[in-house]
């Protein structure tokens, strides 16, 4: 039940971001879908292993992978899909907690939250890059011979 | 090809580059598009140097190198897609150069943004959804929706008034903090942390973060670092606004 609720709300949130970033109207549904896959992968792994860094990596990897596939399918730039999908993974909570503890002059806790936020951001970046490299390798190896140069 | 036509091809490349950069495309995509458009117009040995604040384009021997300034950058993914489609059609010879140039000029003038009210509603609903995603209470949802919507309105209007993005984000997150605090005081909300986190999400510089990473990986260190700096400053402004409220 919670997964269904999470899925629905991550879809709504990613679609909302598609509207804020002015994604093409026909692509809004797919923006929401990309956001939903990324978030569901993230929350499943976060629940199972309790490590937000690994979970963010896998979530971002999934977002970029699905975004690339949609980009090939619709022949549009890949960022249209990935931008809205990445937003839910941004470590807003950790950054907020770091800020709050700095204000409360509890610098040690603040540093641990800030390092967590930093690690998660790094994991998101790595996830994006890994997916990109893998897609490039697959399409170069012959399946996508007739591919367009720009994704 | 006559000299006039070549000049037009150069202007066409520059216009396409500027439009994409202003709409928030990745640097490498802009360079790639410009190079490919130049190639189809028989301009050989072109070089372009794209940064978030300007484009330098050198179209090869008899022509002069040109520089174009990028004054304001927004996030408009539809424009990126439109310009991309024009360049695609130009390279498959579906469009002639004149048609492509006219189309790009039309894109420059067109306003393809969603209406502001729809963006505000989208921001508000996204804020409410994030509250649920972060395991917030259902009773806090109205407060988050209200705070998120108001925060987005303030961020856009302040940006239009002052043209200083960081100041706009700071004021917006300040008001989000105040609304969250007021909701707690009046009993309309219970968890201040979750309400604030959900409501500031529409202000998060998502496009900048993704583009900064992709540019750095593609070897465009100048653009990557400057976009990263912009993202960091924006995030810092949001954090400072929230911290200002929390410190009382």
The Cβ of residue B240 has, within 10 Å, a number of other Cβ atoms equal to: 15
Alpha-carbon torsion, ordered A36, A39, A42, A44, to 10 deg: -60
Distance to chain B for A142, nearest Cα, Å: 22
Give the pLDDT band (50/70/90) at residue A142.
low
pLDDT attached to residue B1:
64
Q: What share of chain B is helix, strand, coil (3-state, %, to 5)?
A: 70, 5, 25
- ipTM (interface predicted TM): 0.86
Please give chain B's pLDDT, 248 residues, in tens: 677 888 888 888 999 999 999 998 888 889 988 988 888 888 878 888 998 889 999 887 778 889 999 988 888 899 999 999 998 888 888 888 888 888 888 988 888 888 889 999 999 999 999 999 888 888 899 999 999 999 999 999 998 898 888 899 999 999 999 999 999 999 888 888 889 989 998 888 877 877 887 788 778 888 889 888 888 888 888 888 988 888 87
Please report residues of B whose CB lies closer than 8 A to that of A147.
Answer: none
Measured between CA atoms, the residue of chain B closest to residue A105 is B247
Place of tokens 């806790």: A109
CA B159 – CA B165 distance, rounded (Å): 6
Please report residues of A whose CB lies closer than 8 A to that of B89.
Answer: none
pLDDT attached to residue A12:
93
pLDDT attached to residue B211:
82
pLDDT attached to residue A151:
45
Q: What is the mean pLDDT of residues A105-133?
A: 89
CA B104 – CA B200 distance, rounded (Å): 35
A54-96 confidence digits (pLDDT tens): 999 999 999 999 999 999 888 888 888 988 888 888 888 888 8
- Determine contact: B73 vs chain A, CB below 8 A: no
Q: Specify whether the backbone of B156 is left (phi greater than 0), alpha (psi in -120 to 50) or beta.
A: alpha
CA B58 – CA B64 distance, rounded (Å): 7
A3-43 confidence digits (pLDDT tens): 889 999 999 999 999 999 899 988 999 999 999 999 999 99
> 128-147 in B: which are within 8 Å (CB) of A?
129-130, 132-134
0.95 exceeded by the pTM?
no
CA A124 – CA A59 distance, rounded (Å): 8
Residue to mutate among A99, A101, A127, with most B CBs inside 10 A, is A99
Q: What are phi and psi of B77, to 5 degrees?
A: -65, -30
Please report residues of B whose CB lies closer than 8 A to that of A60.
Answer: none
Q: Are the CB atoms for B13 and B36 separated by under 8 Å? A: no
- Taking an 8 Å cut-off on Cβ atoms, the answer to whether B119 and A20 are in contact is yes
pLDDT attached to residue A58:
95
Q: Are the CB atoms for B158 and B168 separated by under 8 Å? A: yes
The Cβ of residue B35 has, within 10 Å, a number of other Cβ atoms equal to: 17
- Determine contact: A144 vs chain B, CB below 8 A: no
Helix (H) or strand (E) run with residue B182 in it: helix B165-185
pLDDT attached to residue B127:
93
């Amino acid at each position: 039940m919670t997964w269904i609720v999470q899925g629905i709300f991550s879809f709504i949130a990613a679609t909302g971001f598609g509207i804020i970033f002015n994604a093409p109207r026909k692509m809004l549904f797919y923006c929401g879908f990309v956001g939903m896959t990324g978030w569901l992968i993230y929350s499943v792994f976060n629940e199972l292993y309790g490590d937000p860094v690994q979970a963010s990596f896998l979530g971002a990897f999934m977002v970029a992978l699905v975004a690339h596939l949609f980009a090939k399918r619709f022949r549009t730039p890949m960022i249209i899909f990935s931008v809205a999908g990445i937003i839910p993974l941004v470590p807003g909570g950790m950054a907020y907690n770091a800020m709050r503890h700095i204000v409360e002059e509890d610098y040690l806790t603040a540093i641990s939250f800030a390092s967590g936020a930093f690690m998660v951001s790094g994991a998101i970046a790595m996830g994006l890059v890994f997916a990109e490299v893998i897609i490039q390798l697959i399409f170069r190896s012959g399946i996508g011979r007739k591919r367009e140069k720009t994704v | 090809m006559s000299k006039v036509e070549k000049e037009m091809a150069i202007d066409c490349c520059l216009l396409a580059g500027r439009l994409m950069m202003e709409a928030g495309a990745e640097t490498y995509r802009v360079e790639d598009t410009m190079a490919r458009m130049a190639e189809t117009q028989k301009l050989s040995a072109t070089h372009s140097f794209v940064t978030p604040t300007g484009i330098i384009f050198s179209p090869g021997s008899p022509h002069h190198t040109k520089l174009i300034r990028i004054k304001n950058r927004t996030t408009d993914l539809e424009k990126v897609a439109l310009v991309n489609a024009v360049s695609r059609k130009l390279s498959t010879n579906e469009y002639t150069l004149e048609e492509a140039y006219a189309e790009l000029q039309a894109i420059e003038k067109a306003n393809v943004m969603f209406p502001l009210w729809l963006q505000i509603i989208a921001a508000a609903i996204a804020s409410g959804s994030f509250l649920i995603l972060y395991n917030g209470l259902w009773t806090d949802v109205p407060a988050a929706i209200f705070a998120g919507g108001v925060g987005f309105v303030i961020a856009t209007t302040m940006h239009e008034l002052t043209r200083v993005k960081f100041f706009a984000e700071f004021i917006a997150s300040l008001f989000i903090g105040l609304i969250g605090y007021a909701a707690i005081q009046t009993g309309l909300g219970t968890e201040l942390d979750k309400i604030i986190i959900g409501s500031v999400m529409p202000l998060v510089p998502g496009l900048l973060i993704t583009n900064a990473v992709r540019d750095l990986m593609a070897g465009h260190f100048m653009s990557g670092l400057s976009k990263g700096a912009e993202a960091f400053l924006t995030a810092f402004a949001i954090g400072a606004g929230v911290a200002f409220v929390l410190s009382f």
